[in-house]
Structure 1
Amino acid sequence: MADTTSPRGTKRARHACLNCRRKKTRCSGERPICAFCSRMQQECVYDAGTSIHPLTPYDVNLAARVAWLESKLGAIDWNSSDNLPPVLSDRPSPDGASIEGRQHDFDMTAHGSDFSCIPDMNILQSATDVYFRLCHNHPYSYFTESDFREKLQERCFPSYLLLSFMAVVARYSDDPFFKGQNALAAERFARTAWSQISDYIFSSDGEADIQTVQATSMLAINDFLFGRHRAASVKTGLCVRLAQTLRLGEQSEYDTWSEARRQESRMTFWSVYLLDKLVSCGRDRPPTILDADCTVTLPTLQKYSKATQTTLSALIQPSESSQVPQLDDFALVVFMASVLGRTVRFSLQRVSNPSYPPWDSRSEFASIYGTLLSFEAFSNSRPHAFDADIPFGYSSANKPEFAQSSHFIFAHVLYHYNQCILHHPFLLKFRLKSSHTRVPPTFLREAIRRNKEHADRLISILTFVQCEHLPISTFYGFCAVISGVIQRLHSATTTQSCLSRKDELFQSCLDFLDHAPHQYVHCKRMSTVLRTLQPNSAYADALMSPLLFPEHLHTQDDNIDELLWNTFDYGWLCDPNRPLEFEHQVPKTSSNSNYGEVQLPESSVGFDYEDWDCLLHIGAGGSLPAGSTAALANHL
């Protein structure tokens, strides 16, 4: 047994810095700055009473390098070798490495550190210009530009918010600071921001505030852009829970706040609400936020807007004698997102009351359709707003101003998307196939007509936005797929009426996806999906027939059924690990009907975490169990 009194057996305890003591975290003890303070970019202060030996300049420099390297090693995802910086994934043998070579490796690591630390004020101001030109109001709105710039100058933002902000901006900026490595910069900024948010929220004295909600929401959006749908869903569930903890959706909380705080909190809550609804487009992801819990007034972005201050419930259930409110375009987007949640639940998730058939005026189908029609009244609908012969962005009786165009366009896109899903013949016939009542042919005929009409209008708006070089939301690619599927099914029928027009509209959908901004890699995958969809004429005729089961057409194509179901799944379409050769990868189903139910294969998005019960608990609004914080943070 070793002699504990000998010099080799004696161990000196390292003294923790004041920050680590206060946070109750393990301190590495390096001086002049420990690993925790280096990662959090805090001033590292040790107890003045602690006696230490004087450090040489070499020791100080070496300690700083070691602390920085430890902080970087803690942020690396060891499950993915692609994320390793060159100095760690391609390091030469220490025996054969010269001093110059090791110094060069360190310089390469220092170059990577540009993307994990907050840049200087000039870069932040340039990033602010990019954000409010290309990201703000598309459709999320977390800040007012003047207040954001003022707080930025006063250095009022926490580091994790600025890092999340830079992770979003890095995708769109051409600033020389990024040296052409925008995707890498976005990845590293986001990883560092998430590490800081995890340390802050899950520490013993951490608490939620509106800035953690904003930062977590932006990181979720960034994950969706990368195609990491599961990780993004977890972050979305977390920011929803944080917003609910702060009671941002309750109007009673706003009464004692200043006007500036009310505006920012209202914008942030409704942006989280939009994110929750948009990412729920699929068969297995119901929205988390309930409309009944949202009592806060709808957002207005203009300080002197004449828009009516109203609530979401007043729009969903208007009285016959109530005056039609004049709504801000952001409020219209929220309204259509609310209808989107109901449409997805009815058409894709099948959780509505089946007591009445959809052609009954008391049915959920009729209720959703009636709510959609009220959009035209609330929006003061301008039918010529997207005509190519009227210059967009100029004062016109039919067109909005450019500054307010983003939400105006997005609201109309959601309106037509809802109509396409609600009246989709594939979804309606799948729902009606188990019905024991006879389906009126007139109902299906009218639904198919409306479905085609709104699909045409949807792609015309998207084409208009692209031709006018207006900012494009990532969600627009999904809408182009929905419209393209409808155009493809109609062009595959044996009906020859307007065949060239159908092919032209389908090509417009492909063109929109092929010419989407280069940052939207998922649009290229979506374009491949449309090109893969090649239904035969018998299948298309059966689907577009006003009869539920046409007696003269008996066809079944499980591959097409499966592919059609997947086109309604936003996460599946964005999955970077999804195989592109669908004809060899789609599993057969055991359906015994023309439009049989299929089981969607579990998508793999490069996110491996064993304790899925824990993650689902968070997404449902629960809190983390003890001991799971570190494991979760390392996998997100």
Structure 2
Amino acid sequence: MAIHNRSPSSPTPDKIFLEACDIYFRHCHNKPYGFFNSDLFHHKATRNQVPLYLRLALIATATRYSSRSQWKERKQSTIDDYARCAWELITTSPDALGEHDDVAVIQALALLAVIDATAGRRRSAWVKIGMAVRISQDLQMMLEPSSRLCKMEREERRNLFWSLYLLDRFVCCSFQRPPAIKDSDCLLNLPTYHGSGKKSDSTTLSGLLDEKVRDMTFKPGMFGISIGLAAVLGRTIQCMMNEEPTKEVPWHPVSEYGSIYTDLEFLKELAVKNNPVLAEPGQPRSHNDMPDGDREQIAHMVLSHTLYHLSHCILSHPFLLGMKLQSSAHSDIPSAWSEETRSTSLIHAGSLVTVLVEAKAAGYMPVPSVYSYCILVASTIHALHLHSDDISTSRSSAEYLRTSLHYLGEISELWSNAQMMVMIALLLSFDHYTNELQANALKAFAFQCARYSDILLRNNPRVEELTETEMTILKSVVDYWTMMDPQNPVFDLIPSDPDNFSDIFEKGHGYLTPPSPALVDEITLGVSMPGFIVHKGHSANVDPDILVRVPLSAMSPIASDDGREPGWDWETELNAIHE
């Protein structure tokens, strides 16, 4: 796509851009990525100081949340058109990649990386994230911002860098996918929060995770806690998916496995003590009356609890733990530790689904596409327990899988990678829901799932009995990078007749309907879903300390404040760009 006679700083039509800004800052800003300081950005926008490539990247991002029904089928192509225009300007403009001290190109690259990753363009996303990180390091953003910058610029740079850190850690939830940012290089303070008369305590990432200083009165803020949990998630991925064989036993308290577990429990307790209290019990506020900072605190509250449970799911995942134990060649695995680990994985898998589904039921739609990956990892654990000898466990896992499918189906309109994960989740759970269907490939996989359970849900997992194909499939469903690949090997199990699979999907999706939470205006974190059947032996252990109720009115990220559709004239704008 060619762009002619357009200056990098020339504006798109004001109406288009300003509406995009309103949608972006309402639905995306600090949820969880804080790429901008909103006051500083709006000041630059009114003075026409926002480069065109950044304007286009922001419009492309905001397009996803348009409620205009006529764009439902063309939404992704519209997003891609704007994104390609922005990328072309970045790579051809001498200003975008010049030596000036400006973060606009980093912001644009970060936005474009998210668009590429969620569209399945993995290498393109990887390149853009790498470019954004390298430019940020060139600007020394891993250090405290210069005092010569104004307060808003210092805050923007700090939050932008840590948002890149989150993005970097999320896309590296994968086998052999090293992060671009090292924890040891991050010497700037964590983001602080100053909303509603509150102020967070300043600290660095290393200060937050220092085992010698565990002060539960410390208030780093929910954004800072999210960063800490993302850091521990990175260590979890390294420990369970990328570490070379070692003689270290995971059940030893001073092992890396044990250290990660301790850090997770510390950050969970810190998160509970730092959860925002936004209203008195029984007195929910309208989101129109809620300051933006409070809505952003909710976003990071949900993120922190989700990352806590995801890290535990990966740390105790039967397949990943089986691989780790096999590579360590340990035959003397304590049975009590093994049983407790399996119980822990199932509890956290249920709690992760609960956090996201109840947050959505409360009216808050979790925005980051990484949540699709989180809920899929939890689903793989529930799938392994579908064939449990304990009836209550089997039924509970079936209910959580129904709920996961429903969640993925509803958010698939926002994220195309969620559509892929719906298919995978359906494959994982097929045999328990649609016995009358005769798709041989799906039935074969359901049979395989019973085989996986028999191999993995034991004190000494027999991972060596898995075939190479089975290993590939099991790795793919816990690998975020593979999940974004349209050529995921799990899709080989889908029937070759697309109409046949469409019929299966429609029947299955219609049947898998979860119970609706009774309290739709509140978020309950870390407890079992209302109406769910929970394993009798675990019901007393489902994180009672993490129970948090946050009054919140219904809020849809698709509709505008006044309920009217945004008046975006996309076709005219694209034609103007092409001229």
Same fold (TM over 0.5): yes
Moved more, 201-210 or 268-277: 201-210
Task: Specify which of 266, 271, 274 is matched with residue 166 of structure 2.
Answer: 274
1:401 CA drift (Å): 4.8
1:535-574 superposed matches below 5 A: 535-549=448-462, 556=466, 558-574=468-484
Aligned residue in 2 for 1:369:
261
Distance 1:212 1:203 in 2: 6
Aligned residue in 1 for 2:182:
290
Aligned residue in 2 for 1:465:
359
Q: Which runs of 5 or more residues in structure 2 are unaligned?
A: 288-292, 429-445, 496-579
Distance 1:239 1:204 in 2: 11
Secondary structure, aligned partner of 1:38: coil
Task: Specify which of 417, 420, 426 is matched with residue 525 of structure 1.
Answer: 420
Aligned residue in 2 for 1:338:
231
Q: 1:538 to 1:220 in 2, by over 3 A?
A: closer
Secondary structure, aligned partner of 2:191: coil
Q: 1:310 to 1:284 in 2, by over 3 A?
A: same
Instruction: Assess if the C-alpha contact under 8 Å between 2:240 and 2:320 holds in 1.
Output: yes
Q: Compare CA radii of gyration and give the structure with the larger one.
A: 1
Aligned residue in 2 for 1:378:
270
Distance 1:171 1:254 in 2: 35
1:437-456 superposed matches below 5 A: 437=330, 438-456=332-350
Instruction: Assess if the C-alpha contact under 8 Å between 1:326 and 1:379 holds in 2.
Output: no
Q: 1:364 to 1:321 in 2, by over 3 A?
A: closer
> What number of residue pairs does the alignment pair up?
467
Greater RCO (Cα-Cα under 8 Å, separation 6 or more): 2
Distance 2:418 2:20 in 1: 25
1:377 CA drift (Å): 2.9
Distance 2:392 2:467 in 1: 25
Instruction: Assess if the C-alpha contact under 8 Å between 2:476 and 2:483 holds in 1.
Output: yes
Q: 1:557 to 1:39 in 2, by over 3 A?
A: same
Secondary structure, aligned partner of 2:5: helix
Is residue 357 from structure 1 mapped to residue 249 from structure 2 by the alignment?
Answer: yes
Q: 1:158 to 1:496 in 2, by over 3 A?
A: same
Secondary structure, aligned partner of 1:209: coil
Distance 1:496 1:323 in 2: 40
Aligned residue in 2 for 1:40:
7
Secondary structure, aligned partner of 1:439: coil
Q: 1:366 to 1:506 in 2, by over 3 A?
A: same
* Letter of the structure 1 residue corresponding to residue 483 of structure 2: L
1:184 CA drift (Å): 2.6
1:557 CA drift (Å): 5.2
Task: Specify which of 369, 394, 398 is matched with residue 499 of structure 1.
Answer: 394
TM superposition score normalised by structure 2: 0.74
Q: 1:556 to 1:403 in 2, by over 3 A?
A: closer
Task: Specify which of 360, 372, 381 is matched with residue 477 of structure 1.
Answer: 372
Secondary structure, aligned partner of 1:232: helix
Task: Specify which of 504, 509, 512 is matched with residue 404 of structure 2.
Answer: 509
Instruction: Assess if the C-alpha contact under 8 Å between 1:484 and 1:509 holds in 2.
Output: yes
Distance 2:276 2:160 in 1: 32
1:375 CA drift (Å): 0.8
1:222-261 CA-partner distances (Å, limit 9, x unpaired)? 111211111100110110000000000112x433322111
TM superposition score normalised by structure 1: 0.68
Q: 1:392 to 1:448 in 2, by over 3 A?
A: farther
Task: Specify which of 255, 258, 273 is matched with residue 147 of structure 2.
Answer: 255
Aligned residue in 1 for 2:14:
121
1:444 CA drift (Å): 1.3
Q: 1:363 to 1:308 in 2, by over 3 A?
A: same
1:268-304 CA-partner distances (Å, limit 9, x unpaired)? 1111111111110110211110111111100024355
Is residue 264 from structure 1 mapped to residue 231 from structure 2 by the alignment?
Answer: no
Distance 1:522 1:132 in 2: 23
1:36 CA drift (Å): 7.9
Distance 2:285 2:455 in 1: 44
Secondary structure, aligned partner of 2:93: helix
Q: Which runs of 5 or more residues in structure 1 are unaligned?
A: 1-34, 43-116, 586-636
Aligned residue in 2 for 1:45:
none
Aligned residue in 2 for 1:77:
none
